[in-house]
Amino acid sequence: MLSRANLIGAVLFLAAGIIGFFLPPWLVSLLTIAFANALVVLGLIILWRAGLVPFGQALYYCSGAYTVALLARWAGVSDAFVLLIAGGLVAGIVAFLTGFLLARYREIFFAMLSLAMSMILYGVLVKTETLGSTDGFGVDPPHFLGYAPHGDALGFALYWFVLVVCAISALVIGVYFKSVAGALAVPIRDNEIRVEFLGISVTRLIHMKLVIAGTLAGVGGALAAMTIGHVDPNMSYWTTSGGFVFVTILAGAGSVAAAFVGSLVFEIVRSFAFAVLPGFWQMTLGIVLLLTILFLPEGLGSLATRFRRRKPDTKPVATS
């Protein structure tokens, strides 16, 4: 699979890694969180291609984050690789179980049911006083196969760790998009009955997509927990899910890369609004979202396509 796309992806990934050494630590930390969240968005893109938008993806994000935090606190596990796999696995299992129910739903009903499920987890966590209720609790800095960095070195280690996870996920999901199961997303969105007439179980396909998206969200949550060093039940609140959907719309479902670009742009706009307009950051975000939907219906990912198309458009086109 040494295609040009993967080659360029690899170059970009290396470039992002090297640039990290020249960026101030606060920007590295911002990029780390943006890329961790991008994994959740990548999962949402998978679902959105099939016409599904969950308002409860925070359920899996929070499951992944709490798995990491609980393993670190109660089992003393501190290795980032073990924590990451555990976070993804638990979220994947949760997604598999909830999937039996959710895979039967579409449109707004799907959105509402997933929202209800994430709010039930929120309620349970708020009730659990041993886990600090809404205050949450801290996650100690992870180790990397015995390497235990501190301070700025920890920031870079996490940044690289997140980049590697992102690169692998991007590669795998890129392959998935081109597989039959991935490519069937758009037909399902357009008319799933026709897909069923082909002899394919739409419910099972969607169930699989839910598990993939849930696992990605769990991995994102696990990385976020390690990066932030703190987990709390708000990670499961519906506004967190809303934030991820926001980034998905901003990014557009065009490609794998869109998730990363969208998440990065969102994090920068948010931070910028906080610094410049501290009292009016919600309005800034709202306006950005509105303008994106009105003028960039396919998301930021479509900008590149537009630039490319503009050139041939300048010549008179005879055929339509």
Partner 1 sequence: MLTAFAILTDGLAYAAYLFMVAVGLTLIFGVMKILNVAHGSFYAFGAYGAAMAAGIYYDRGLPEAGGFLFMILLAMAIGLVLGLILERGVLRFVYGRDEVIVVLVTYAVFLILEDVIVFIWGPQSYAAYQPMVWAGNVEIGELVLSNYDILLVAISAGLALFAYWALKFTRYGRLLTVVIFDRETAAAFGINVTVVYTVTFIIGAMLGALGGAMMAPKISITLGIGVEVIVLAFAVVAVGGMGSIEGALVGALIVGICRAAAVHLMPQIELFVIYAVMALVLVFRPYGLFTRAQPRKI
Partner 2 sequence: MKNYAIRMLRSGAAALAIAAFAGGAAPVQAQDAGSVKLGLVTFLSGPAAGPFGVPGRNGAEILIEALNAGKVPAPYNTVGLGGLKIETKIIDESGSAANVVSEYRNLVQRDQVDAIVGYVSSGNCLAVTPVAEELKALTVLFDCGTPRIFEEKPRKYVFRVTPHATQDNVAAARYVLAKKKNVTLYSGINQNYAWGQDSWRDFVGAMSVLAPKAKVDKELFPKLFAGEYGAEISTLLTSKSQVLHTSFYDGDLESFIYQQAARGLGKRMTILATTAESSMKRLGNKIPDGSIIGARGSNGPLARDTELNKWFVKVYTDRYGTAPTYPSYHMAQSIIGLKAAWEKAAKAKNDAKPTIDEVVAAFENLQFEAFGSTIKLAIGHGHQGIAEIAYGTYKFNKQKNEGEIVDVVRFPAECANPPADVNAEDWIKGGMKGAKCD
Please, what's the largest Cα pairwise distance for the chain?
Answer: 71
Q: Kindly state whether residue 149 participates in binding partner 2, applying the rule CB under 8 A.
A: no
User: Which residue, 111 or 172, is less far from partner 1 as judged by CB?
Assistant: 111
201 binds, among partner 1, partner 2, none (CB under 5 to 8 A by kind): none
Identify the sign of the CA torsion 116, 118, 120, 126: negative
- The neighbour count for residue 152, using CB atoms within 10 Å, is 12
* Member of 78, 203, 234, 284 binding partner 2 (CB under 8 A): 234
Contact 61, 200 (CB under 8 A): no
* Member of 146, 193, 307, 310 binding partner 2 (CB under 8 A): 307
Q: Kindly state whether residue 76 participates in binding partner 2, applying the rule CB under 8 A.
A: no
CA-closest candidate to residue 60, choices 97, 104, 32: 97
Q: Kindly state whether residue 236 participates in binding partner 2, applying the rule CB under 8 A.
A: no
Dig out the tokens for 28 from the structure: 């590295």
User: Which residue, 153 or 293, is less far from partner 1 as judged by CB?
Assistant: 293
Q: Which residues bind partner 1 (CB under 8 A)?
A: 51, 53, 101, 104-105, 107-109, 111-113, 115-117, 119-120, 122-124, 126-127, 191, 193-194, 238-239, 242, 245-246, 249, 279-280, 282-283, 285-287, 289-290, 293-294, 297
- Please, which residues have CB within 8 angstroms of residue 123's CB and are 6 or more apart in sequence? none
Q: Kindly state whether residue 224 participates in binding partner 2, applying the rule CB under 8 A.
A: yes
CA-closest candidate to residue 168, choices 2, 13, 8, 4: 13
Q: How far is the CB of 259 from partner 2 (least distance, A)?
A: 11
